[in-house]
A and B are shown apart, each in its own frame.
Chain A
């Protein structure tokens, strides 16, 4: 059965109302059960037989090039921007301030 893919993992099958078996071979997520509350669905869908081995999930993932497609979405870019902002050093903050000043009238 197909499962939608998050930026981190693919849902493989339902375990019970609340949890799903999840795997992310190309994004470093181990095969595990995960509650739905921890997940957000994306638009990406990969086709593989439900409960297939990690090897086949990886194949399907790479065939669809999910990593690249994900990185191109606005959602992923926003996450990245947030991460960068949190890592901003004092010097970066100064540069941002100067850049903003240049923009504003």
Chain B
């Protein structure tokens, strides 16, 4: 990336044939390579002032059009609001600041956090999926109340969990999320290419709902929280919609229905590391 000693050129003038056609802002294509050759990493050959001359910044002074500044001067956001106040002889309203002063200044400065690299929040993590798990694969659930049951994999949700269904009439597993790590992928696959899974089945749909704000404490807490899980009509509807499509495919494969009804278990002489799933 070392730029050689070239006479400073305006990049816009590299295309002589172009008409200016009244466009004020033209994209500067073909950026010049760095005019500051690198001596060592982070150290260039020329000083700031030398670079100023080399880049011909004395020629390139841009100022923003003034009209916009004038416009912005008028558009300051409101600093105070007037709010009504109740009670007798209270004056009716108060002037209240919109952005209030901080209510707490720490006695010591909070030390600046060191720069970190590549630490992403959970929502930005890369989701992986084992190659053996494809839509339509029969999975064996290993944990949870449905352990040992064989279910059909539908798709991977945005948090990385697998959307899975029994189907419900076969083994009482509803549309549910399963964790990839706690699942065995068998090589048995059902053709789900024609099955349309409703788009509203996301993680938010399946997330457990918990009420967190009891208005009265101590005594009424246990009543307000949902102890018993109730199956909503929405869930029943979605279950039917998905299962009806899948059951049609299951019927095509002989003995598959019975297979999905059965559960997986280990017995004497059966070693998981030796089994071909």
Contacts and interface: CB of A to CB of B under 8 A. Distances in A.
Contacts of A86: 276
A88 B138 CA distance: 15
A23 to B, nearest CB: 33
B275 A90 contact: yes
A95 B262 CA distance: 11
Nearest to A94: B259
Interface string A72-105: 0000000000000011111100110010000000
Nearest to A89: B187
B188 A88 contact: no
B182 interface: no
B140 interface: yes
Nearest to B255: A95
Contact of A90 (B255, B258, B264): B264
Interface in B242-270: 255-256, 258-259, 262, 264
B262, B264, B276 — which one has the most chain A CB atoms within 10 A of its CB? B276
A89 B277 CA distance: 5
A88 B258 contact: no
Interface residues of B, number: 15
A94 B276 contact: no
Contacts of A87: 276
Contacts of A91: 138, 186-188, 255-256, 259
A44 B164 CA distance: 55
A11 B165 CA distance: 57
A94 B277 contact: no
Contacts of B187: 89-91
- The main secondary structure of chain B at its interface with chain A is mixed
A98 B188 contact: no
Contacts of B259: 91, 94-95
A98 B255 contact: yes
B255 to A, nearest CB: 6
Given A94-B255, A95-B255, A89 B186 contact: yes
B136 to A, nearest CB: 13
Contacts of B188: 89-91
Interface string B186-200: 111000000000000
Interface string B207-242: 000000000000000000000000000000000000
A95 B259 CA distance: 8
A98 B277 contact: no
A95 B254 CA distance: 10
A98 B138 CA distance: 19
Contacts of B264: 90
Nearest to B253: A91
A86, A88, A89, A98 — which one has the most chain B CB atoms within 10 A of its CB? A89
A98 B277 CA distance: 18
Contacts of A88: 276
6 contacts: A86-B276, A90-B138, A90-B264, A90-B275, A91-B259, A95-B255
3 closest A-B pairs by beta carbon, nearest first, are A91-B188, A90-B186, A94-B259
Given A89-B186, A90-B188, 13 more contacts: A88-B276, A89-B276, A90-B150, A90-B187, A90-B264, A90-B277, A91-B187, A91-B188, A91-B255, A91-B259, A94-B258, A95-B259, A98-B255
